[in-house]
Amino acid sequence: MDVTSGGDAPWLVVGLGNPGPEYAMNRHNVGFMVADLLAGRIGGKFKRAGKAQAQIVEGRIGPPGPASRRVILAKPMSYMNLSGGPVNALRDFYKVPLDHVVAVHDELDIDYGVLRLKLGGGDNGHNGLKSMTKAMGPDYHRVRFGIGRPPGRMQVADFVLKDFSSAERKELDYFVDRAADSVEALLAEGLERAQSTYNS
């Protein structure tokens, strides 16, 4: 059973990351990578979103017909720890219910490449989620992309702002593709069915 509100309401899928080429391949930017792939799938290119500090693509996800969902893909351009403001501005502008917001983000407490989909919950120290929850409350969907814990004594901040390792990059495209699939499943089929397929 789908837990979401009105079926005709648009969805806002937010890839979390930091803007700028120096961050592009960081672990912290995997949300941007998934958003870019989804934009390519619907044939769109990111453009500046009016007054909101974000880039967006509008389109439809899913097969033609009743399973197709109107979607706004977004990448906040405000840096990770200020993501909530731009996301909330987009949500207000497009009249998106909170349970139609999906944050795609890196997750330290899950092994690399493993996905977990959920609705609501805490931020687990993730600055992007912390900012979104402060701006809107916690009851939005999350697609959590595992990046694992830092090795040895490396600080978390250093780890998430480093590029994926060469070993990780060998499987990165596959994992990003799977994460994009999970977003499409969440929108088309609802949380429970998407969890049963992708929560490995």
pLDDT at 2: 45
pLDDT at 3 over 60: no
Q: What is the pLDDT of residues 164-181, one digit of tens each?
A: 999 999 999 999 999 999
Q: What is the pLDDT of residues 53-100, one digit of tens each?
A: 999 999 998 877 777 899 999 999 999 999 999 999 999 999 999 999
Q: What is the mean pLDDT of residues 24-51?
A: 94
Where would I find the H helices in 95-190?
Answer: 127-136, 156-160, 166-189
Active site members = 28
Mean pLDDT of the chain: 93
Distance CA(200)–CA(67), nearest Å, equals 24
Distance CA(106)–CA(148), nearest Å, equals 9
pLDDT at 131: 98
Distance CA(69)–CA(162), nearest Å, equals 35
Q: What is the pLDDT of residues 9-32, one digit of tens each?
A: 999 999 999 999 999 999 999 999
Range in 50-54, 91-95, 124-128 with the lowest mean pLDDT: 50-54
The single residue listed with the structure tokens 């990165």 is: 172
With pLDDT > 90 as the criterion, what percentage of the chain qualifies?
A: 89
Return the DSSP state at 164: P
Give which of 197, 16, 28 is closest to 101, Cα–Cα.
16
